[in-house]
């Protein structure tokens, strides 16, 4: 890991236009990812993780609108590139992705080798033969017999398709990979294998990774940093070892306390947070978490808490979190 900033998201706000008004899916989100670093995104379903990842990949659906903000990648604001410039110079080559259903990203009736070869030759000046060879090497790397590159996706099991998808994502040696629930569709043992593979590859290839998962224990095992989202807001961002041991934001506390630990999984009650996240077409004023927060005050009901710097590369959006710690009144 280095101090070299690769991705710098600044005040990003994304809304979806719907018949019943705008959905405030991502609100004023800022964070940085350094070269070689892995960041895990966590938070309940519907809190804006996929929207944020799609904004970075410029694959937002047509009803989405980037209301505000900038996304700097390796020194340039990628929101200023035209769609064709982005596809030509950034997508797959510099920033690539691993989706949850690999079947959707791979064409079932074209040999996997051909699909990888095409991805490589589209972006790099190499011969089809070299590209094919690189595909075979990648298969080896992700643990598939290289000759299977001659197969069609439908001939693969779910786990193997996901491995092939990873090979595809790595084909052009990207600087950043976004993995959105990469193992959700797979059974538990295969999930663990795929996560182990991703962790290893990220480490040996020195690339940066954003990993989105509903399983925050995977983030604790895999990532350097974590970003905790609540109702479209980034509420806590910082080093995994800090946040998992001593979370500051009341939402993060609830989230982390609800991870069942292996030793006392049977005896300990799940301390889930009472209530439910708000409807993002009419989020509450002030701190979006205040209706569920045991420490909420009058201030929390009216004033949106800014993301405060509370340590090195550590930010928390709570009126009562500062560099001195979490100190709610009373
Ligand atoms: N195309 C869309 N049109 C309208 N609302 C959407 C669309 N896609 C997602 N949303 C809404 O945006 C919010 C964030 O969704 P999403 O980014 O998918 O969350 P997550 O990935 O954290 O589950 C949710 O309230 C979701 O219902
Ligand atoms: Mg999602």
Is ligand 1 within 6 A of the CB of residue 282? no
- 61 Cα–ligand 2 center, Å: 13
- Cα separation, 2 vs 254, in Å, equals 31
Is ligand 1 within 6 A of the CB of residue 226? no
Regarding whether 313 and 262 lie in a shared domain, the answer is yes
In this structure, are residues 149 and 113 in contact, taking their beta carbons and an 8 Å threshold? Answer: yes
Q: State both tokens at 144.
A: 């598939």
Evaluate whether residue 117 is within a structural domain: yes
Regarding whether 125 and 260 lie in a shared domain, the answer is no
Evaluate whether residue 285 is within a structural domain: no
- Nearest-CA residue for atom 3 of ligand 1: 16
Is ligand 1 within 6 A of the CB of residue 227? no
- Domain residues for the domain of 51 are 1-80+176-187+204-276+304-325
Evaluate whether residue 110 is within a structural domain: yes
Evaluate whether residue 140 is within a structural domain: yes
- Nearest-CA residue for atom 25 of ligand 1: 46
Is ligand 1 within 6 A of the CB of residue 277? no
Regarding whether 20 and 120 lie in a shared domain, the answer is no
In this structure, are residues 64 and 14 in contact, taking their beta carbons and an 8 Å threshold? Answer: yes
Regarding whether 169 and 141 lie in a shared domain, the answer is yes
**Which of 129, 151, 173 is the endpoint of a domain?**
173
| pLDDT attached to residue 302 | 98
Regarding whether 262 and 210 lie in a shared domain, the answer is yes
Phi, psi of 324 (to 5 degrees): -80, -10
- Nearest-CA residue for atom 2 of ligand 1: 16
Q: Which ligand is nearest to the CA of 100?
A: 2
In this structure, are residues 11 and 70 in contact, taking their beta carbons and an 8 Å threshold? Answer: yes
Is ligand 1 within 6 A of the CB of residue 54? no
Tens digit of pLDDT at every position of the chain (330 positions): 557 999 999 999 999 999 999 999 999 999 999 999 999 999 999 999 999 999 999 999 999 999 999 999 999 999 999 999 999 899 989 999 997 765 567 888 899 999 999 889 988 899 999 999 999 999 998 899 999 999 998 999 888 888 888 899 999 999 999 999 988 777 888 888 888 888 998 999 999 999 999 888 899 999 999 999 999 999 999 999 999 999 999 999 999 887 765 554 444 444 678 888 999 999 999 999 999 999 999 999 999 999 999 999 999 999 999 999 999 997
- Cα separation, 315 vs 312, in Å, equals 8
Atom of ligand 1 nearest to the CA of 53: 17
How many domains does the chain divide into?
2
pTM of the complete model: 0.93
- Cα separation, 48 vs 45, in Å, equals 8
- 159 Cα–ligand 1 center, Å: 27
Evaluate whether residue 244 is within a structural domain: yes
| pLDDT attached to residue 122 | 87
Evaluate whether residue 162 is within a structural domain: yes
Look up the CATH number of the domain holding residue 246. 3.40.50.300
Evaluate whether residue 269 is within a structural domain: yes
Evaluate whether residue 194 is within a structural domain: no
| pLDDT attached to residue 103 | 56
| pLDDT attached to residue 260 | 66
């Amino acid at each position: 890991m280095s101090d070299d900033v690769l991705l710098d998201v600044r005040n990003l706000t994304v809304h979806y236009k719907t018949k019943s008004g705008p959905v405030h899916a991502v609100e004023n989100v800022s964070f940085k990812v350094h070269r070689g670093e892995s960041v895990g995104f966590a938070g309940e379903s519907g809190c804006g993780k996929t929207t944020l990842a799609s904004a970075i990949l410029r694959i937002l659906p047509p009803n989405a609108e980037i209301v505000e903000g900038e996304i700097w990648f390796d020194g340039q604001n990628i929101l200023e590139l035209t769609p064709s410039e982005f596809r030509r110079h950034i997508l797959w080559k510099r920033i690539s992705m691993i989706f949850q259903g690999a079947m959707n990203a791979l064409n079932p009736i074209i040999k996997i080798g051909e699909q990888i070869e095409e991805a490589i030759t589209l972006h790099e000046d190499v011969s089809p033969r070299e590209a094919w060879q690189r595909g075979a090497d990648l298969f080896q790397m992700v643990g598939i017999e290289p000759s299977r590159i001659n197969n069609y996706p439908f001939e693969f099991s779910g786990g193997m398709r996901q491995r092939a998808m990873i090979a595809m994502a790595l084909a052009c040696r990207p600087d950043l990979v976004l993995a959105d629930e990469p193992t959700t569709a797979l059974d538990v043992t295969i999930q663990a294998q795929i996560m182990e593979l991703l962790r290893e590859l990220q480490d040996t290839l020195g690339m940066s990774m954003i990993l989105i998962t509903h399983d925050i224990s995977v983030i604790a095992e895999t990532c350097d940093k974590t970003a905790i989202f609540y109702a479209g807001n980034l509420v806590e961002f910082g080093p995994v070892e800090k946040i998992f041991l001593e979370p500051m934001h009341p939402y993060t506390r609830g989230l982390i306390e609800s991870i069942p630990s292996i030793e006392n999984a049977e005896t300990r009650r799940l301390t889930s947070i009472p209530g439910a996240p708000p409807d993002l077409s009419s989020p509450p004023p002030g701190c979006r978490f205040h209706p569920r927060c045991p420490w909420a005050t009058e201030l929390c009901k009216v004033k949106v808490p800014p993301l405060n710097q509370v340590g090195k590369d550590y930010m928390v959006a709570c009126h009562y979190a500062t560099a001195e710690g979490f100190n709610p009144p009373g």
